[in-house]
Structure 1
Amino acid sequence: MKGLGLNLIKYVLFIFNLIFAVSGIGLIIAGSLVLSDVGEFNHFMEGKILAPPVVLIVAGVIVFLVASLGCYGAIKESYYMLMAFAICLLIIFIIEFAVGIAAASFKSEFRVALKNNMKNSMDNYENSKSDKIAWDNLQRKLECCGVDGPTDWKKRPMSCCHALRENAPDPTSDQCRAAQPGDDHLYNYGCFTELEMKAERASKVLIGVGIGVAFIEIIGIILACWMASAVKNKE
């Protein structure tokens, strides 16, 4: 009976680790997608803002490796490997929890830091090639203008304006600079709100994936400790 129970736990843990390995790949994919989406505008963001998706990618790699350890430990019925697996899961869980708390606490600072970075970059638009490229790319891709709106610019760049219809010529630089808020060929929304919303959507993806994997990790710790106990009793 005891042998039957141990075999049942072993195969349950093995199947769990296969699912866990897939979740590690999911972490890598989610982190990479968020990093490519938000990282495109990293010129305006501090390293702290881009750290969570990087941590998620690293965690995904570790999760995949740890899942492999769990599979091997389950098949070999090794008490020490199973306990090492459980401890690794616990460490990963604590790290993810700490990163989540850090990201939540930085949320209020994020708005201030982002807006300050955008304003400083705007002041350097005429004198810095990197700032010019970053602003033109941001305004064209997010269809926005300025930090809070078009009036933020002293000399409004062409990237704030667009053609009124498809295949129509773009407005001239003089027309763009003379345009008033509300004009059809002018992007009338500020880029700060658009960029903040993009970062918010990215954070929700990270939080959702992180919670899901954390739940799987807790189950893994329980199963590993359960099987390790059964192996020890058998010995």
Structure 2
Amino acid sequence: MKTCELSVIKYTLFIFNLIFAISGVGLIIAGSLVLAEVGEFSHFLEGKILAPPVVLIVAGCIVFLVASLGCYGAIRESYYMLMAFALCLLIIFVIEFAVGIAAATYKNQFQSVLKEAMTDSLSKYESSKSDKIAWDNIQTKLECCGVDGPMDWSKRPPTCCHPTRENAPDPSPEHCRNAKPGDDFLYNYGCFEELQMKAESSSKVLIGVGIGVAFIQIIGIILACWLASAVKNRE
């Protein structure tokens, strides 16, 4: 009976670790997609905001390696390897939990920090090449203008405007500079709101993936300890 129980637990844990390895690949993909989505606007975002997707990619690599250890430990029915596997899962879970708490705490400061960084960067548009490139990029990609709107600019750049119809020429710099809010060729929404929505959307993806993997980790810790206990009792 004990041998049958041991076999059931062993193969259950083996199958679980295959799923766990796939979840590690999922973490890497999710982190990479979010980093690619938000990373192009890194000029306005602090390292604290870009850290979670990077942590997720690193965690995905570690999860894949740990899952391989779990598969090997399950097949070999090694008590020490199984306990090492459970301990690794626990450490990863604690790190993910700590990063989640840090991200939730920083979320309250996110709006003020982001707006301050964008306002400061906008004031350097004429004097700093990096700020000019960053603003031209974000206004073109997110179809927005200024921090809160087009009136933030004293000399409005051409990237605040767009053609009124397909294949039409871009409005001239002078035409764009003299445009009034409400004109159909002027982006009338601020970039702060657009970038904030993009960052929050990305954070929801990270939170969802993180919670799913954390749930899998808890199951893995339970199965590993159960199998390790069964192996020890048999010995």
TM-score exceeds 0.5? yes
1:2 corresponds to which residue? 2
5+ residue gaps, structure 2: none
Q: CA deviation at 1:184?
A: 0.3
In structure 2, C-alpha distance between the alignment counterparts of 1:21 and 1:182, rounded to whole Å: 52
Alignment of structure 1 residues 216-231 onto 2, 5 Å: 216-231=216-231
Counting aligned pairs with the same residue, the percent is: 77
2:61 pairs with 1:61: yes
Q: CA deviation at 1:139?
A: 0.2
Deviations 1:39-97 (A, max 9, x none): 01000000000000000000000000000000000000000000000000000000000
1:114 corresponds to which residue? 114
1:12 corresponds to which residue? 12
After TM superposition, the runs of 4+ consecutive aligned structure 1 residues lying more than 6 A away are: none
2:52 corresponds to which residue? 52
Q: CA deviation at 1:174?
A: 1.0
In structure 2, C-alpha distance between the alignment counterparts of 1:207 and 1:161, rounded to whole Å: 35
2:44 pairs with 1:32: no
Alignment of structure 1 residues 75-90 onto 2, 5 Å: 75-90=75-90
Deviations 1:140-165 (A, max 9, x none): 11000000000000100000001100
Task: Give the TM-score of the pair, scaled to structure 2.
Answer: 0.99
Alignment of structure 1 residues 93-132 onto 2, 5 Å: 93-132=93-132
Q: Which region of structure 1 is more displaced relative to structure 2, 48-57 or 170-179?
A: 170-179
Counterpart residue type for residue 80 of structure 1:
Y
1:171 corresponds to which residue? 171
In structure 1, C-alpha distance between the alignment counterparts of 2:133 and 2:86, rounded to whole Å: 48
In structure 1, C-alpha distance between the alignment counterparts of 2:208 and 2:230, rounded to whole Å: 34
Counterpart residue type for residue 23 of structure 2:
S
Q: CA deviation at 1:26?
A: 0.1
Deviations 1:124-153 (A, max 9, x none): 100111100100000011000000000000
Task: Give the SS at the match of 1:80.
Answer: helix
In structure 2, C-alpha distance between the alignment counterparts of 1:100 and 1:34, rounded to whole Å: 16
In structure 2, C-alpha distance between the alignment counterparts of 1:3 and 1:142, rounded to whole Å: 61
Counterpart residue type for residue 17 of structure 1:
N
Alignment of structure 1 residues 126-141 onto 2, 5 Å: 126-141=126-141
In structure 2, C-alpha distance between the alignment counterparts of 1:20 and 1:146, rounded to whole Å: 45
Counterpart residue type for residue 3 of structure 2:
G
Deviations 1:19-54 (A, max 9, x none): 000000000000000000000100000000000000
Alignment of structure 1 residues 145-164 onto 2, 5 Å: 145-164=145-164
Q: CA deviation at 1:170?
A: 1.0
Q: CA deviation at 1:169?
A: 1.1
CA-atom RMSD in angstroms? 0.4
Counterpart residue type for residue 108 of structure 2:
S
Task: Give the SS at the match of 1:44.
Answer: coil
Task: Give the SS at the match of 2:43.
Answer: helix
In structure 2, C-alpha distance between the alignment counterparts of 1:49 and 1:4, rounded to whole Å: 49
In structure 2, C-alpha distance between the alignment counterparts of 1:76 and 1:148, rounded to whole Å: 61
